[in-house]
Amino acid sequence: MIEKSLVIIKPDGVERGLIGEILRRFENAGLKIIGMKMVWVDRKFAEEHYKAHRKKPFFRELVEFITEGPVVAFVAEGVHAVGNVRRLVGSTSPHEASPGTIRGDFAHMSMAYASKKGLGGKNLIHASGNKAEADAEVKLWFRKEEMHSYSTVHEKHVF
Ligand code: ATP
Ligand code: MG
């Protein structure tokens, strides 16, 4: 039941100075950050990360968006981490994301608007969609040595 999920603070989140605010939400929920780095990914890496979307009409825009600036990638570990991270992040389209979620609190545009403008949907965060996606994404973004095993005070009370 203890899972790892890959989270990426996308270029819009980094440029808006939301790194601390976003990390705080995961830490507050007791999720453990076991690896983290700032990277400016190239087109090839972005295409690999988003390969499931290769056939989508917004694929080119998506790759352009994720490579337009540095991102902060981290691995969050915890009980049902994949689902719990998605709940904290909110729906894909910020326009539909509930208040209280990261996308609902810090963005409001819709994917329809992004598509109309020919832009990738700026929704601040990427989070693994399911356990299989999480396992593949953690492997793609982090080497074993870049992830760490340690105890947090939360483990006594939250895990
Ligand atoms: P992510 O995978 O980034 O966590 P998600 O799982 O909520 O987001 P996906 O369906 O996997 O959503 O879409 C991947 C990303 O593609 C979205 O986060 C968004 O940035 C972008 N996207 C999705 N739909 C559209 C669209 N119609 N127009 C433009 N961009 C889109
Ligand atoms: Mg997804």
- What does the pLDDT read at residue 23? 98
Nearest CA to ligand 1 atom 5: 92
| Of 9, 31, 141, 116, residue with least CA distance to 76 | 31
Answer whether residue 159 shows pLDDT above 90. no
- Sketch the domain layout of the chain as residue ranges: 2-144
Helices (H) and strands (E) in the chain — how many of each? 9, 4
C-alpha of residue 116 to centroid of ligand 1, in Å: 15
Average pLDDT of span 2-19: 98
The number of the ligand 1 atom at minimal distance from the alpha carbon of 91 is 7
Ligand 1 atom nearest 128 alpha carbon: 4
Q: Is 127's C-beta closer than 6 angstroms to any atom of ligand 1?
A: yes
Spacing of C-alpha 127 from chain mean position: 3
Asked whether 111 lines ligand 1 (CB < 6 A), one says yes
**CATH match for 2-144 among 3.30.1360.200, 3.40.980.20, 3.30.70.141, 3.50.50.60:** 3.30.70.141
User: pTM of the prediction?
Assistant: 0.96
CA 5 to ligand 1 center in whole angstroms: 17
Instruction: Name the percent of the chain lying above pLDDT 90.
Output: 92
CB-ligand 1 contact for 129 (6 Å cutoff)? yes
From the CA of 130, how far away is ligand 1's center (Å)?
14
Residue 155 has pLDDT above 90, yes or no: no
Residues near ion ligand 2 (Cβ under 5 Å): 129
Give catalytic status of residue 53 as yes or no. no
3-state helix, strand and coil shares in percent for the chain, rounded to the nearest 5: 45, 20, 35
Q: Whose CA is nearest to atom 1 of ligand 1?
A: 126
- Average pLDDT of the segment spanning 110-131: 94
CA 153, CA 157: separation in Å to the nearest integer? Answer: 7
Residue 156 has pLDDT above 90, yes or no: no
Backbone φ and ψ for 123, nearest 5 degrees, come out as: -125, 25
Predicted confidence (pLDDT) at residue 126 exceeds the cutoff of 90: yes
Structure confidence by residue, pLDDT tens digits, 19-30: 999 999 999 999
